[in-house]
Amino acid sequence: MAMLEGKTALIFGVANDHSIAWGIAQALHREGAQLGFSYAGPTLEKRVRPLAESLGADFIEQCDVGSDEEIAAVMAKAKERFGTVDILVHAIAFANREDLQGRFVDTSRDGFLLAHNISVFSLVGLTRAALPLFPESGGSVLTLSYYGAEKVAPRYNVMGVAKAALEASVRYLAADLGPQGVRVNAISAGPIRTLAASGISGFRAYQKSFAAQAPLRRNVTIDDVGATAAFLASDGARGITGETVYVDSGFNIMAMSSEEE
Ligand code: NAD
Protein backbone atom coordinates (compact mmCIF):
# COMPACT_ATOMS: atom_id res chain seq x y z
CA MET A 1 0.00 0.00 0.00
CA ALA A 2 1.15 3.53 -0.74
CA MET A 3 2.60 5.28 2.35
CA LEU A 4 0.14 8.19 2.40
CA GLU A 5 -3.09 6.53 1.28
CA GLY A 6 -6.06 8.27 2.89
CA LYS A 7 -4.01 11.33 3.96
CA THR A 8 -4.59 14.94 2.93
CA ALA A 9 -1.74 17.44 2.48
CA LEU A 10 -1.81 21.23 2.15
CA ILE A 11 1.19 22.50 0.21
CA PHE A 12 2.48 26.08 0.46
CA GLY A 13 5.33 27.23 -1.76
CA VAL A 14 4.86 26.01 -5.33
CA ALA A 15 5.88 28.81 -7.72
CA ASN A 16 6.67 26.64 -10.77
CA ASP A 17 7.81 23.14 -11.73
CA HIS A 18 11.34 23.84 -10.38
CA SER A 19 10.04 24.53 -6.87
CA ILE A 20 11.06 22.17 -4.06
CA ALA A 21 7.37 22.22 -3.03
CA TRP A 22 6.54 20.78 -6.46
CA GLY A 23 8.98 17.89 -5.93
CA ILE A 24 7.31 17.27 -2.57
CA ALA A 25 3.80 17.49 -4.07
CA GLN A 26 4.64 14.90 -6.72
CA ALA A 27 6.10 12.52 -4.12
CA LEU A 28 3.12 12.88 -1.76
CA HIS A 29 0.78 12.28 -4.72
CA ARG A 30 2.73 9.16 -5.75
CA GLU A 31 2.28 7.86 -2.20
CA GLY A 32 -1.50 8.30 -2.41
CA ALA A 33 -2.11 11.63 -0.63
CA GLN A 34 -4.90 13.96 -1.64
CA LEU A 35 -3.44 17.45 -2.21
CA GLY A 36 -4.46 21.07 -1.75
CA PHE A 37 -2.27 23.95 -2.95
CA SER A 38 -1.74 27.55 -1.97
CA TYR A 39 0.18 30.19 -3.92
CA ALA A 40 1.52 33.60 -2.89
CA GLY A 41 -0.32 35.98 -5.19
CA PRO A 42 -2.36 36.48 -8.37
CA THR A 43 0.61 36.40 -10.80
CA LEU A 44 1.52 32.87 -9.66
CA GLU A 45 -1.95 31.38 -10.08
CA LYS A 46 -1.53 30.72 -13.82
CA ARG A 47 1.62 28.67 -13.09
CA VAL A 48 0.34 26.80 -10.04
CA ARG A 49 -3.20 25.94 -11.20
CA PRO A 50 -2.21 23.66 -14.13
CA LEU A 51 0.45 21.94 -12.02
CA ALA A 52 -2.00 21.33 -9.18
CA GLU A 53 -4.70 20.11 -11.58
CA SER A 54 -2.23 17.68 -13.18
CA LEU A 55 -2.13 15.92 -9.78
CA GLY A 56 -5.92 15.89 -9.49
CA ALA A 57 -6.15 18.79 -7.02
CA ASP A 58 -9.14 21.13 -7.01
CA PHE A 59 -8.14 23.15 -3.92
CA ILE A 60 -5.92 25.95 -5.27
CA GLU A 61 -6.12 29.07 -3.09
CA GLN A 62 -4.15 32.26 -2.68
CA CYS A 63 -2.39 32.99 0.61
CA ASP A 64 0.23 35.68 1.13
CA VAL A 65 1.74 34.45 4.39
CA GLY A 66 2.55 38.04 5.35
CA SER A 67 -1.17 38.45 6.11
CA ASP A 68 -2.87 36.87 9.16
CA GLU A 69 -6.22 37.36 7.41
CA GLU A 70 -5.12 35.40 4.33
CA ILE A 71 -3.71 32.61 6.52
CA ALA A 72 -7.01 32.38 8.45
CA ALA A 73 -9.02 32.47 5.21
CA VAL A 74 -7.08 29.68 3.48
CA MET A 75 -7.34 27.42 6.54
CA ALA A 76 -11.09 28.09 6.81
CA LYS A 77 -11.49 27.11 3.14
CA ALA A 78 -9.37 23.99 3.69
CA LYS A 79 -11.56 22.98 6.64
CA GLU A 80 -14.64 23.41 4.49
CA ARG A 81 -13.14 21.43 1.59
CA PHE A 82 -11.32 18.63 3.43
CA GLY A 83 -12.62 18.57 7.01
CA THR A 84 -9.23 17.45 8.32
CA VAL A 85 -5.68 17.86 7.04
CA ASP A 86 -2.88 15.44 7.99
CA ILE A 87 0.18 17.09 6.40
CA LEU A 88 1.23 20.74 6.17
CA VAL A 89 4.13 21.58 3.85
CA HIS A 90 5.80 24.98 4.32
CA ALA A 91 8.32 25.65 1.52
CA ILE A 92 8.40 29.44 1.67
CA ALA A 93 11.18 31.98 2.06
CA PHE A 94 11.80 35.55 0.99
CA ALA A 95 14.51 38.20 1.45
CA ASN A 96 15.32 41.37 -0.42
CA ARG A 97 17.84 40.77 -3.19
CA GLU A 98 20.19 43.42 -1.77
CA ASP A 99 20.33 41.47 1.50
CA LEU A 100 21.63 38.37 -0.33
CA GLN A 101 24.81 40.06 -1.51
CA GLY A 102 27.57 42.04 0.15
CA ARG A 103 27.99 41.85 3.92
CA PHE A 104 25.51 40.59 6.54
CA VAL A 105 26.49 43.48 8.79
CA ASP A 106 24.85 45.88 6.32
CA THR A 107 21.38 44.24 6.57
CA SER A 108 18.70 46.89 7.18
CA ARG A 109 16.15 46.58 9.99
CA ASP A 110 13.35 46.34 7.41
CA GLY A 111 15.21 43.68 5.40
CA PHE A 112 15.88 41.66 8.56
CA LEU A 113 12.24 41.82 9.68
CA LEU A 114 10.88 41.02 6.22
CA ALA A 115 13.07 37.91 5.85
CA HIS A 116 12.07 36.67 9.32
CA ASN A 117 8.39 37.48 8.85
CA ILE A 118 7.96 35.65 5.54
CA SER A 119 10.50 32.86 6.05
CA VAL A 120 10.10 32.05 9.77
CA PHE A 121 7.00 33.51 11.39
CA SER A 122 4.96 32.11 8.51
CA LEU A 123 5.74 28.58 9.78
CA VAL A 124 4.43 29.47 13.23
CA GLY A 125 1.37 31.31 11.82
CA LEU A 126 0.44 28.54 9.37
CA THR A 127 0.97 25.77 11.92
CA ARG A 128 -1.16 27.54 14.55
CA ALA A 129 -3.93 28.17 12.03
CA ALA A 130 -3.80 24.52 10.90
CA LEU A 131 -4.12 23.08 14.43
CA PRO A 132 -7.93 22.75 14.36
CA LEU A 133 -7.63 20.84 11.07
CA PHE A 134 -5.35 18.05 12.28
CA PRO A 135 -7.24 14.86 13.13
CA GLU A 136 -7.13 13.40 16.65
CA SER A 137 -4.54 10.90 15.46
CA GLY A 138 -2.13 13.82 14.89
CA GLY A 139 -0.37 15.32 11.89
CA SER A 140 2.92 16.20 10.25
CA VAL A 141 4.36 19.65 9.53
CA LEU A 142 7.37 19.97 7.21
CA THR A 143 9.53 22.97 6.40
CA LEU A 144 12.67 23.59 4.35
CA SER A 145 15.99 24.77 5.67
CA TYR A 146 19.56 25.12 4.47
CA TYR A 147 23.03 24.51 5.97
CA GLY A 148 23.58 28.29 6.06
CA ALA A 149 21.53 28.11 9.29
CA GLU A 150 24.53 26.54 11.02
CA LYS A 151 27.64 27.65 9.16
CA VAL A 152 28.33 30.88 7.33
CA ALA A 153 27.54 30.52 3.63
CA PRO A 154 28.83 33.48 1.60
CA ARG A 155 26.04 35.89 0.58
CA TYR A 156 23.31 33.82 2.26
CA ASN A 157 23.46 36.47 4.99
CA VAL A 158 20.07 37.32 6.53
CA MET A 159 18.55 34.13 5.15
CA GLY A 160 21.11 32.05 7.10
CA VAL A 161 20.05 33.81 10.28
CA ALA A 162 16.38 33.30 9.37
CA LYS A 163 16.99 29.58 8.75
CA ALA A 164 18.62 29.28 12.20
CA ALA A 165 15.44 30.79 13.67
CA LEU A 166 13.36 28.45 11.50
CA GLU A 167 15.18 25.35 12.77
CA ALA A 168 14.77 26.56 16.37
CA SER A 169 11.07 27.20 15.67
CA VAL A 170 10.76 23.59 14.47
CA ARG A 171 12.06 22.39 17.84
CA TYR A 172 9.78 24.68 19.88
CA LEU A 173 6.73 23.81 17.76
CA ALA A 174 7.55 20.09 18.04
CA ALA A 175 7.71 20.38 21.85
CA ASP A 176 4.40 22.27 21.99
CA LEU A 177 2.50 20.00 19.64
CA GLY A 178 4.01 16.59 20.40
CA PRO A 179 1.45 15.84 23.13
CA GLN A 180 -1.33 16.05 20.52
CA GLY A 181 0.57 13.84 18.08
CA VAL A 182 1.58 16.62 15.67
CA ARG A 183 5.16 16.14 14.47
CA VAL A 184 7.20 19.06 13.12
CA ASN A 185 10.40 18.52 11.11
CA ALA A 186 12.68 20.39 8.71
CA ILE A 187 14.54 19.12 5.68
CA SER A 188 17.88 20.84 5.15
CA ALA A 189 18.32 20.60 1.38
CA GLY A 190 21.47 21.09 -0.68
CA PRO A 191 21.46 23.90 -3.27
CA ILE A 192 18.84 23.45 -6.02
CA ARG A 193 18.32 25.89 -8.90
CA THR A 194 14.89 27.42 -8.21
CA LEU A 195 13.32 30.87 -8.42
CA ALA A 196 14.30 31.63 -4.80
CA ALA A 197 17.89 30.45 -5.41
CA SER A 198 18.22 32.77 -8.41
CA GLY A 199 18.27 35.68 -5.92
CA ILE A 200 21.55 34.45 -4.42
CA SER A 201 24.57 35.72 -6.35
CA GLY A 202 27.24 33.16 -7.33
CA PHE A 203 24.74 30.26 -6.99
CA ARG A 204 25.93 28.32 -10.07
CA ALA A 205 29.55 28.31 -8.94
CA TYR A 206 28.43 27.28 -5.48
CA GLN A 207 26.48 24.29 -6.85
CA LYS A 208 29.57 23.18 -8.76
CA SER A 209 31.86 23.25 -5.75
CA PHE A 210 29.11 21.67 -3.59
CA ALA A 211 28.91 18.64 -5.92
CA ALA A 212 32.70 18.32 -5.97
CA GLN A 213 32.90 18.30 -2.18
CA ALA A 214 29.80 16.26 -1.21
CA PRO A 215 30.36 12.51 -0.54
CA LEU A 216 27.79 11.54 -3.20
CA ARG A 217 29.55 13.88 -5.72
CA ARG A 218 26.31 15.33 -7.05
CA ASN A 219 23.76 17.99 -6.35
CA VAL A 220 20.38 16.96 -4.97
CA THR A 221 17.10 17.29 -6.87
CA ILE A 222 13.55 18.22 -5.95
CA ASP A 223 12.75 14.49 -6.31
CA ASP A 224 15.36 13.63 -3.65
CA VAL A 225 13.76 16.13 -1.28
CA GLY A 226 10.26 14.92 -2.20
CA ALA A 227 11.10 11.30 -1.36
CA THR A 228 12.36 12.29 2.11
CA ALA A 229 9.35 14.55 2.66
CA ALA A 230 6.98 11.66 1.84
CA PHE A 231 8.79 9.47 4.37
CA LEU A 232 8.75 12.16 7.09
CA ALA A 233 5.02 12.72 6.53
CA SER A 234 4.32 9.00 6.72
CA ASP A 235 3.66 6.65 9.61
CA GLY A 236 7.15 5.25 9.07
CA ALA A 237 8.49 8.46 10.66
CA ARG A 238 6.04 8.33 13.60
CA GLY A 239 8.90 8.51 16.12
CA ILE A 240 10.64 11.52 14.52
CA THR A 241 9.87 15.11 15.54
CA GLY A 242 11.76 18.37 16.04
CA GLU A 243 14.54 17.22 13.71
CA THR A 244 16.39 18.79 10.83
CA VAL A 245 17.05 16.02 8.32
CA TYR A 246 19.76 16.62 5.70
CA VAL A 247 19.08 15.88 2.04
CA ASP A 248 22.40 17.23 0.80
CA SER A 249 24.48 14.37 -0.68
CA GLY A 250 26.25 14.27 2.69
CA PHE A 251 27.84 17.73 2.28
CA ASN A 252 27.31 18.64 5.94
CA ILE A 253 29.55 15.84 7.27
CA MET A 254 32.68 17.15 5.51
CA ALA A 255 35.16 19.33 7.37
CA MET A 256 37.28 20.00 4.31
CA SER A 257 36.96 19.82 0.56
CA SER A 258 37.99 16.41 -0.84
CA GLU A 259 39.53 18.38 -3.74
CA GLU A 260 42.25 19.32 -1.25
CA GLU A 261 43.33 15.67 -0.66
P1 NAD B 1 10.77 28.75 -4.95
O2 NAD B 1 11.03 30.15 -5.38
O3 NAD B 1 10.31 27.79 -5.97
O4 NAD B 1 9.81 28.69 -3.69
C5 NAD B 1 9.72 29.74 -2.74
C6 NAD B 1 8.25 29.95 -2.54
O7 NAD B 1 8.03 30.93 -1.50
C8 NAD B 1 7.56 30.48 -3.81
O9 NAD B 1 6.50 29.63 -4.17
C10 NAD B 1 7.04 31.84 -3.38
O11 NAD B 1 5.84 32.19 -4.01
C12 NAD B 1 6.83 31.59 -1.87
N13 NAD B 1 6.65 32.85 -1.17
C14 NAD B 1 7.51 33.90 -1.07
N15 NAD B 1 6.93 34.91 -0.39
C16 NAD B 1 5.67 34.46 -0.04
C17 NAD B 1 4.57 35.04 0.65
N18 NAD B 1 4.64 36.29 1.15
N19 NAD B 1 3.45 34.31 0.81
C20 NAD B 1 3.36 33.05 0.33
N21 NAD B 1 4.36 32.44 -0.34
C22 NAD B 1 5.51 33.15 -0.52
O23 NAD B 1 12.20 28.26 -4.32
P24 NAD B 1 12.58 26.97 -3.48
O25 NAD B 1 14.06 26.91 -3.57
O26 NAD B 1 11.77 25.81 -3.89
O27 NAD B 1 12.23 27.38 -1.99
C28 NAD B 1 11.40 26.61 -1.13
C29 NAD B 1 12.04 26.52 0.26
O30 NAD B 1 13.21 25.73 0.18
C31 NAD B 1 12.48 27.86 0.84
O32 NAD B 1 12.22 27.87 2.23
C33 NAD B 1 13.97 27.85 0.59
O34 NAD B 1 14.69 28.69 1.48
C35 NAD B 1 14.25 26.39 0.85
N36 NAD B 1 15.53 25.88 0.38
C37 NAD B 1 15.91 26.09 -0.90
C38 NAD B 1 17.14 25.60 -1.34
C39 NAD B 1 17.61 25.83 -2.75
O40 NAD B 1 18.81 25.71 -2.99
N41 NAD B 1 16.73 26.11 -3.68
C42 NAD B 1 17.96 24.89 -0.45
C43 NAD B 1 17.53 24.68 0.86
C44 NAD B 1 16.31 25.18 1.28
pLDDT digits (tens, 9 = 90+) for 34-92: 999 999 999 999 999 999 999 999 999 999 999 999 999 999 999 999 999 999 999 99
Distance CA 219, CA 226 (A): 14
What CATH number has the domain bearing residue 13? 3.40.50.720
pLDDT of residue 55: 98
Q: Is the pLDDT of residue 17 over 60?
A: yes
Would you place residue 198 in the very low, low, confident or very high pLDDT band (cuts 50, 70, 90)? Answer: confident
Would you place residue 260 in the very low, low, confident or very high pLDDT band (cuts 50, 70, 90)? Answer: low
CA-195 nearest atom, ligand 1: 2
Residues annotated as part of the active site: 146, 156
Range of the domain at 225: 8-245
Ligand 1 center from residue 77 Cα (angstroms): 23
Residue 3 inside a domain? The answer is no
Mean pLDDT of 196-206: 87
Residue 253 inside a domain? The answer is no
Would you place residue 25 in the very low, low, confident or very high pLDDT band (cuts 50, 70, 90)? Answer: very high
Ligand 1 center from residue 1 Cα (angstroms): 31
Q: Terminal CA-to-CA distance of the chain, rounded, Å?
A: 46
Residue 77 inside a domain? The answer is yes
Q: Which helix (H) or strand (E) holds 208?
A: helix 203-213
Q: DSSP letter at 181?
A: T
Q: What backbone torsions phi and psi does residue 89 show, to the nearest 5 degrees?
A: -110, 120
Residue 110 inside a domain? The answer is yes
Mean per-residue pLDDT of the chain: 96
Look at the chain and report how many structural domains it folds into. Answer: 1
Q: Is the pLDDT of residue 261 over 90?
A: no
**111-165 confidence digits (pLDDT tens):** 999 999 999 999 999 999 999 999 999 999 999 999 999 999 999 999 999 999 9
Q: Is the pTM of this model over 0.85?
A: yes
Residue 135 inside a domain? The answer is yes
Residue 261 inside a domain? The answer is no
pLDDT of residue 259: 59
Would you place residue 183 in the very low, low, confident or very high pLDDT band (cuts 50, 70, 90)? Answer: very high
Distance CA 146, CA 141 (A): 17
Longest alpha-carbon distance in the chain = 59
Evaluate: CB of 48 within 6 angstroms of ligand 1: no
pLDDT of residue 1: 74
